[in-house]
Chain A
Amino acid sequence: MASNVMIFIIILGLVNFLLRFLPAQILNKIALPEVVEEWLSFIPVATMSAIVIPVLLKTNNSLISFSWHNLNLLSAVPTVIVAAKTRNLGYTLATGMVTMAVLQNLV
Chain B
Amino acid sequence: MGNKPVLEGMKKALPICLGYFPLGLAFGVIAQNTGLSMVQVGVMSLLVFSGSGQFIAVALLSLGVSFWSIIFTILLVNSRYMLFSASVSRYVKKFPSPLVALITQGITDETFVVSTSYFKEHPVNKKFWLALNITSHLTWISSTMLGVAVGNFIPDMEKLGLNFALPAMFIALFFMTAENKKGLIVGALAGVLSVLFIVVGLKDANVILATVIAATAGVMVKNGF
Asked whether any CB of chain A lies closer than 8 Å to the CB of B223, the reply is: yes
Are A89 and B71 touching (Cβ within 8 A)?
A: no
Least distance between B90 CB and chain A CB atoms (Å): 7
B215: which of A39, A48, A53, A100 is its contact (CB, 8 Å)? Answer: A39
The number of chain B residues touching the other chain, given as a range, is 35 or more
Contacts A9-B48, A19-B79, A96-B171 hold; do A50 and B194 have CB atoms under 8 A apart?
yes
Give 23 CB contacts A-B under 8 Å: A13-B43, A16-B49, A19-B82, A21-B100, A21-B105, A23-B89, A24-B104, A28-B100, A38-B219, A40-B83, A40-B215, A44-B116, A45-B184, A48-B170, A48-B173, A49-B194, A50-B214, A76-B167, A87-B172, A89-B176, A92-B175, A93-B168, A101-B160
Q: Mark B148-171, 1 if CB is under 8 A from A, else 0.
A: 000000000011111111111111
Task: Among A5, A24, A32, A89, point to the contact of B40 (Cβ < 8 A).
Answer: A5
Task: Quote the shortest CB–CB distance from B15 to chain A (angstroms).
Answer: 4
Question: Total interface residues on A, using CB and 8 Å?
Answer: 72
Known: A12-B71, A53-B194, A89-B114. A76 touches B207 (CB 8 A): no
The answer on a CB contact under 8 Å between B174 and A88 is no
Given A5-B40, A51-B194, A87-B175, A45 contacting B187 (CB threshold 8 A): yes
Which A residues contact B (CB, under 8 angstroms)? 2, 4-6, 8-17, 19-28, 32, 35, 37-57, 63-64, 72, 75-76, 79-80, 83-84, 87-90, 92-93, 95-102, 104-105
Residues from chain A with a CB closer than 8 A to the CB of B14 are: 90
CA distance A56 to B218 in the complex (A): 24
**Given contact pairs A39-B219, A93-B18, A46 touches B186 in the complex (Cβ within 8 A):** yes
Smallest CB separation, B159 vs chain A (Å)? 5
Q: Is B126 an interface residue (CB 8 A)?
A: no
* A-B pairs, 9 with minimum CB distance: A13-B47, A96-B168, A101-B161, A53-B191, A100-B164, A92-B172, A46-B190, A27-B89, A52-B170
Once the chains are docked, how many angstroms separate the CA of A2 from the CA of B40?
Answer: 9
B residues with CB within 8 A of A: 14-16, 18-19, 22, 36-37, 40, 43-44, 46-50, 52-53, 57, 61, 67, 70-71, 74-75, 78-90, 92-93, 97, 100-101, 103-105, 107, 109-110, 112-114, 116, 158-179, 183-184, 186-195, 198-199, 206-207, 210-211, 214-216, 218-219, 222-223
A87 to B113 Cα, complex, angstroms: 12
- Pairwise interchain contact B50-A16, C-beta atoms closer than 8 A: yes
CB < 8 Å: which of A53, A56, A105 contacts B192? Answer: A53
